[in-house]
Amino acid sequence: MSPDAQLYTLLLRGQQKLSAQTPKYKKACEGCNHHSPFLDVPSVLLAPWFRISEFVDRMTGGNQILTTNTKPGMRSTVIGHEAPKANIAKRWRELQGANNWADLLSPLDLDLRREILRYGDFVHVTSDTFPYEKKSKHPWACPIKKSELLSNTSHDVTGYEVTRYLYSHLHGRKDEIQEVNWIGYVAVTVDPEEISRLGRRDIVVVWRGTVTDIEWQQDALFSQIQPTSINGNTVPKDVLVSRGFWGAFADFDPAKSVFGINGSAGKQATEEVKRLIQKYAGEQLSITCLGHSLGGALATCCAYQIAEANINKSASRTIIPITAFTYASPRVGNVAFRERFKTLGVKVLRIASNQDIVPCLPVGDDDDSNPIIPNVKMEVEHTAKKIHIGDVLGFLVDKLNDAILPDDYTHVGVTLALDFRKSPCLKQPGKWIDLNSVENLHRYHNLEGYLHLVNGVFGGAKGDLKKPFKPVVIRDLAPINKRSDLLADTYAKNVPENWWRLQRHTGLERNQDGFWEFPEVHGDIKKPNPDFD
């Protein structure tokens, strides 16, 4: 019998055993000692037959919780499938970084793991719903109305309402604004059950990653400038940030305004956060800034600006905690910028991989407590086009002209380091990062790949290659290939690469006269529009 057939037989036998004990496994509780014939079967092996979520639903009616405790008094270490949402009302401040995630990263705390995954899905919404079809009428805009945004994604994002869209004014390599692009959204928890589960009403500000050519050009503006505070507060003179990232956040040209929106993306975001704080005055609130890649840099800028402008102080002078969860974010500012974050009390958990070149840029050096690139001997081929994975940072610092790429950059916050070599479900990175291969660079910058690793890593600020990879939350493998070919061939037999396509408003549609054209969904872009502002 082939290995596949043996496994399939094992699953069928397990189904029979589980069916006989269904009532036992339908009893939901936290930190239980339920066991299952599936406990030692890696969830990734179920992919060849059907979706993991469908499999669990078939076996248990969607109510199975499988965990195992280590020792009495210790947090549970999940090694099977468990309920994706637990009540965190009593510990939400800890999960938002009140104690800088002390004792939560190694091993990676279950509730924190689930929060990183949940917030990552909010970020997925930005890429899922921004098709950027260059020949459409408004390629820079999101074609989905605010009220429908969270239901048009490939991930389960519920309990929140989108209250505002954000638009960035970008100049690329030029001085004047070249384009205005939809760059993210603000949402707030509105579902009473979700508010109760979270222990507060959560305001999220979500930023997307780089898509357009102008955005790529602006990303590469590594010279540093002093950020400004929107309320006139004096910013310490030694605090410096990337000109490109801060420009995307803070620049504004009134002549290029859309939907009557007045102000930069940063002003739009901070004003909306301020409005929501006033609207829900007296309630327990949190502010969470999220983003992947460029979005991570903008989330960092946003968290900083909200705190610098004292927007997170309620009318009663209560300090509302600000947390940024960034995924594959580049560096944003200098050491003084990092220290300013600490002074302001802003918490940042940066999720990064040392096979991804983006977190290594702009060139710089990180705080010793947050290493991302191991310090090993440099190995560079004569073409200078391939870099040893363990020395991306060293190569860039040593070989690139410091006058062009200043190296006074550092990351902020606490690091959760990921390693793509950990998962057997993914194509394995080679010894080198090949700068000639855009496809290879993009592959290991994959957000869903990051979340897949979060779902199965043991954790730790430096990672731990000795610990086995075990997915612990029900999560489909197919989204890993939404925009790449990262999924290993074994698991990609029925999952094509780059398969995601937004179903509506991304292609030609037949008009009332019978002619094919791009649909008009935005109306007059110079007038206010409650669906898109």
Most distant CA pair in the chain: distance in Å?
73
Q: For this structure, is 106 an active site residue?
A: no
Dihedral, CA atoms, 533, 284, 85, 206, nearest 10 degrees? 30
Q: Is 94 helix (H, G, I), strand (E, B) or coil?
A: helix
Instruction: Assign residue 216 a region (left: φ > 0; alpha: ψ between -120 and 50; beta: otherwise).
Output: alpha
Dist CA 44 CA 50 (whole Å): 11
Sign of CA dihedral 92, 93, 98, 99: negative
Q: Is the previous residue joined to 107 through a cis bond, with omega within 30 degrees of 0? A: yes
- The residue type at 274: K
Q: Please list, in sequence order, all residues whose beta carbon lies within 8 angstroms of the beta carbon of residue 424, skipping any fewer than 6 positions away.
A: 44, 469, 488
- Token pair, residue 95, equals 């999960």
Structural contact between residues 504 and 143, judged by C-beta atoms closer than 8 angstroms: yes
Catalytic: which of 109, 121, 219, 356? 356
Using an 8 Å Cβ cutoff, are 75 and 104 in contact?
A: no
* Structure-token pair, residue 213: 């050519």
Q: Is 481 left (phi over 0), alpha (psi -120 to 50) or beta?
A: alpha
Catalytic, 293? Answer yes
For 239, 329, 429, the CA distances from 270, given in Å and listed in that order, are 20, 21, 39
Inter-CA distances, 222 with 320, 323, 330, 332, Å: 32, 25, 11, 9
Phi, psi angles (nearest 5°) of residue 388: -60, 130
Q: How far is CA 90 from CA 86, 208, 416, 528, in A?
A: 11, 31, 23, 41
Catalytic pick among 136, 264, 293, 353: 293
> Is 445 a known active-site residue?
yes
- Cα-Cα-Cα-Cα torsion 275, 99, 226, 351, nearest 10 degrees, comes to -90
Mark 427-458 as b/e (b = at least 16 C-beta within 10 Å). bebeebbebeeeebbebbbbbbbbbbbbbbbb
Catalytic residue among 34, 124, 155, 445: 445
Half-sphere exposure of 132 toward its Cβ, with a 13 Å CA cutoff? 16
Strands 322-327 and 347-353 come out as: parallel
d(CA 314, CA 285): 10
Active site residues: 293, 356, 445
